[in-house]
Chain A
Amino acid sequence: MNFTFHRKRISGVLVVVPANERSFVEEMRNFNFPKGRSLKLKEVMGYDKRRIVEPGVCVSDLVLFGLQQLFEQGLLKREEIDALLLVTQTPDHFMPATSSLIQGRLGLKQDMLCLDINQACAGFVIGLMQAFMLLEQESVNKVVLVNADVLSRKASPKDRNIYPLIGDGAAITLIERDDKDSVIHASVKMDGSRAEALIIPAGGLRLPSSPETARLEDVGDNNLRAKDHVFMDGSEIFNFVQTEVPPLIENLLARAGISSAEVDYFLCHQPNRFMLEKLADKLKVPYARMPNNVVEHFGNSGSVTIPTVMAYNLRERLLREQLQVCLAGFGGGLAWSAMLLRLGKLAFNNIIEYE
């Protein structure tokens, strides 16, 4: 599904990562996994360091920390926030919305909209689209988009297929109207028939958590996982990305009348280095123009990874100048999304640590 937006821009990005850093090779020793193979996985997939929250830390804690920092530094005023959009798969509660909890804890004005959006790795682009649509309203001048997840808390520590790869974090993105006549193209696709490729089977109302769903089961290769834990069908997701994402991006570029060579950077979701290299190969994009190093420093933090690529790889450039970028996210849903925009001259573009 195609979308076009006019006169909208991203004006700042702040990423919050937990200070707690884990090492892949160290963690793999807990799995009785041969060190040689761990090193090979590190080399090919890029798994190295990642950031996860301490026990008990929730999405709202990370977000509050980041927003308070923006208030203290004068980069954002409380009363300026007309909408707070939170994209997360790991809310504090079923109800109420975590965005409302954040509003309450920060003492934000009542004259605003709080909205939780249940989206995974495609969720940065989807959140931006919602923000752009809200900015069509005269009463809305500034939207705060927050992407945040603490998925490490839902991963089995005894499942080496997923636990050593996940990162936690939050990204705060400010969105406002642009004085210039900028045009932004986006495209989104969904396939709920493949929803079970990335799922937390228990804990909702279909299968409430119980001692039974908390029981660790042997799922092969000495991995143990419960139904309360996140499950990912790695090969299904790999095939999905390689099949669906290149045409999505190619069609988006064609519709916008922009050639691949005119795109300064492809800023994609960061599951691992291997998948991004294969994606770049398919799109015939040099690796230098599709950064793939977020997972090795921070882990895969879902919809937080695209803003993390911006802040980690392009901090100075995006403060100074505008670049033509293509964003692309893909994952749970299944959902895949892409957006073509001019990004830059940001007021801030930082990564901070949550202690």
Chain B
Amino acid sequence: MDKPEFYQRLAEILDVEEVKPENVLKDFDGWDSLAILSVLAMADAKYGVSIKAEEIRSVVSAQDLANLVEAKQK
């Protein structure tokens, strides 16, 4: 998995310039139910994995989210 590309896609969903691995997702203004749905769609379309909304809500940082998607790919 290309992590920088993943963070860039996450930045587009959150409508910010940049997302760093250590950033806490809840700290973003744009981190709402629509963003979560967009992450589900991105994980499905770009990485071929299905994640549940609860799983996304349980992760803290952007890096946790990247790891979750990566773990599902295996």
Which residues of A pack against B, CB within 8 Å? 37, 40-41, 44-45, 161, 221, 234-236, 238-239, 242-243, 274, 278, 281-282
The 0/1 profile, CB within 8 Å of A marked 1, for residues 28-65 of chain B is: 00001110110011001100001111100000000000
Q: Is the CB of B44 within 8 A of A242?
A: yes
User: What CA separation (Å) do A199 and B33 show in the bound complex?
Assistant: 21
Please, which residues of chain B bring their CB within 8 A of the CB of A221? 33
Total A-B contacts with CB atoms under 8 angstroms apart = 39
CB distance from B32 to the nearest CB of A (A): 6
Please, which residues of chain A bring their CB within 8 A of the CB of B52? 235-236, 239
A sample of 20 inter-chain contacts (CB < 8 A) reads: A37-B32, A37-B34, A40-B34, A41-B34, A44-B34, A234-B53, A235-B36, A235-B40, A235-B51, A235-B52, A235-B53, A235-B54, A236-B52, A239-B40, A239-B50, A239-B51, A243-B44, A278-B41, A281-B45, A282-B45
- Secondary structure dominating the interface of A: helix
Contact of A235 among B32, B34, B37 (CB under 8 A): B37
- Secondary structure dominating the interface of B: helix
Q: A239-B40, A242-B45, A274-B37 are in contact. List 15 more A-B contacts (CB 8 A).
A: A40-B34, A161-B33, A234-B37, A234-B53, A235-B36, A235-B37, A235-B52, A235-B54, A238-B37, A239-B51, A242-B50, A243-B50, A274-B41, A278-B41, A282-B45
Top 8 closest pairs, chain A to chain B, by CB:
A235-B53, A239-B50, A242-B44, A278-B41, A235-B52, A238-B40, A235-B40, A41-B34
CB distance from A334 to the nearest CB of B (A): 14
CB distance from A110 to the nearest CB of B (A): 51
Please, which residues of chain B bring their CB within 8 A of the CB of A274? 37, 41
Q: Is the CB of B34 within 8 A of A278?
A: no
CB distance from A283 to the nearest CB of B (A): 12
Q: Is the CB of B34 within 8 A of A238?
A: no
Interface centre among B34, B36, B45, B54 (most CB of A within 10 A): B34
CB distance from A285 to the nearest CB of B (A): 14
